[in-house]
Amino acid sequence: MAKRYFHYDEIASEQSAGYTKALGEEFVPGPVDGEDLIRSRTQVAIVGAGPAGLVLALLLQHEGIDCVVVERQTQAYVETRARAGFIEHRVVEFLRQHGLSEGLDLRGVPHTTCEFRHGGSQYIVPYGDLSGGAHVVYPQQFLVRDLLELFTSRGGKVLFSHPAVKMEGMEDNRAVVTCVVQDSSDSPLQLELECDFVAGCDGFHGLSRTSIPSTHVMTFTKQYGIGWLALLAEVPSSMKRIVYALHDSGFAGQMPRTPQVTRFYLECLPGDLESEWPDDRVWRELRKRMAIDGENDLITGPIIERRVLDMRSVVTEPMQYGNLFLAGDAAHIITPVGAKGMNLAIADAEVLARALIAHYRKRDGTLLREYSKTRLPHVWRVQEFSDWMLRLIHSTDGSNEQAFSERLRRARLERLCGSNAYANLFAESYVGR
């Protein structure tokens, strides 16, 4: 079949509707040999416009390396999807160094202390002073919007509503990513994107990880048997820092987001339905679990999002198959404890970008070959911290000796506030130093 090739500059990329229209009216006079198929070429095909994909795209663009981002969702969806919000000190510094931090410098709020509540006591950890670093609270969707704006304003191409449906040829240097151009027509167009490398930045439910033959990867999974009800409430934070409340009825947490919106978490059963947690039950539990000596200062208000999350962690090894490189949630997911997911994703993108730049600019493939080996020890170190913290804040530890676990938790918190060495280790891991 004769295939027509287009460069992306020829294709309106803003919205799939405009794109299809442009293709239909100007580029493809009806089906090409009976099939609606477009081919194009780029150096790096980036699948997924989350933090990992967009950071990678911007770093490559800066070096003049051609890349195209394909994204399953619409632009409006990715720019408003509320996810994480805590950016580690090291990641903030990295974004600053690369001129990607304007929004977070303007609107982000630095945080340097967190608080644990247990048995009527408060344990405040000044992790910023201890580690010489701080978190910046800046919602992930704001960062995604900033990165998208930067990338597209510099001429970068993001094809929204283009789910990747097939990846092939990664093992023999002939990588092709096939996307469906979603629109309202009955026979959707297909786009074949030939590339040197595929960056699989398409999250845990994406296509990249599952495109690797099972004989070439190992997946390590930990199911904690714990659920969290993740809530977004339209209220200012009652307490100006992160609060982890350890209670007999289960964990409760407060994470500041913006002056108008706060994230709360409530431990629940993994199979719980959102409908089992109406507003009055949510606020009752939050008030009870966060109280100190029966008192609390919780501001209540409308709940705008509620989702039950399963506490689980997954790591895929290696993070590479031929010319396909996995970054971010596509390679590993981590429980939200310790707020590490987005930070790991950006750190992967940074290392992958450096490796691709060395390949194109210095003809040196060493960093690419070592990408997985470089990232995995860091990924496991962060998993270890999150696992430790998860055990600190939940009473469930697989045994029935509740009273014993309670005392262990108290001993850990007392060490955290009484031993400099212990607190320093926590602070360093927490801010990602």
Catalytically active residues are 111, 244, 336, 340, 430
Q: Could you tell me which stretch among 27-35, 72-80, 115-123, 186-194 binds ligand APR (CB under 6 A)?
A: 72-80
Stretch that binds ligand APR, among 45-53, 180-188, 378-386, 395-403 (CB under 6 A): 45-53
Give every CB contact of residue 110 below 8 A, 6+ residues apart in sequence.
128, 134, 135, 136, 137
The Cα 158–Cα 34 span in angstroms is 28
Q: How far apart are CA 186 and CA 188, in angstroms?
A: 6
- Which segment (3-11, 51-59, 120-128, 417-425) binds ligand APR by CB under 6 A? 51-59
Q: What is the rounded distance in angstroms from the CA atom of residue 342 to the CA atom of residue 323?
A: 24
Compute the distance between CA of residue 175 and CA of residue 132 in angstroms, rounded to an integer.
44
Helices within 72-199 (DSSP H only): 75-80, 89-97, 102-107, 127-131, 140-153
By CB under 6 A, what part of segment 187-206 binds ligand APR? 201-203, 206
Q: Which one of residues 8, 16, 19, 53 is an interface residue with ligand APR (CB under 6 A)?
A: 53
What is the smallest separation between the CB atom of 144 and ligand APR, expressed in angstroms? 7
Query: Is residue 379 near ligand APR by the rule CB under 6 A?
Result: no
The only residue of 36, 50, 57, 136 in contact with ligand APR, by rule CB under 6 A: 50
Environment class of residue 169 by beta-carbon count within 10 Å: exposed (0-12), middle (13-18) or buried (19+)?
A: middle
Residue 175 engages ligand APR in binding (rule: CB under 6 A)? no
List the x/- string, 129-148, binding to ligand APR by CB under 6 A: -----------x--------
Q: What's the CA gap between 318 and 371, in Å, rounded? A: 9
Contact call for residue 382 and ligand APR (CB under 6 A): no
Q: What is the 3-state secondary structure (H, E, C) of 174-220?
A: CEEEEEEECCCCCCCEEEEEEEEEEEECCCCCCCCHHHCCHHHCEEE
- Could you give the string, one character per residue 267-286, with x where binding to ligand APR holds by CB under 6 A and - elsewhere? --------------------
Determine contact, residues 100/150, Cβ cutoff 8 Å.
yes
Distance in Å, CB of 223 to ligand APR, minimum: 18
Q: Which residue has the tokens 């949630």?
A: 329
45 is a contact residue toward ligand APR (CB under 6 A): no
Query: Rule CB under 6 A: which residues touch ligand APR?
Result: 47-53, 70-73, 78, 83-84, 140, 163-164, 201-203, 206-207, 328-330, 341-342, 345
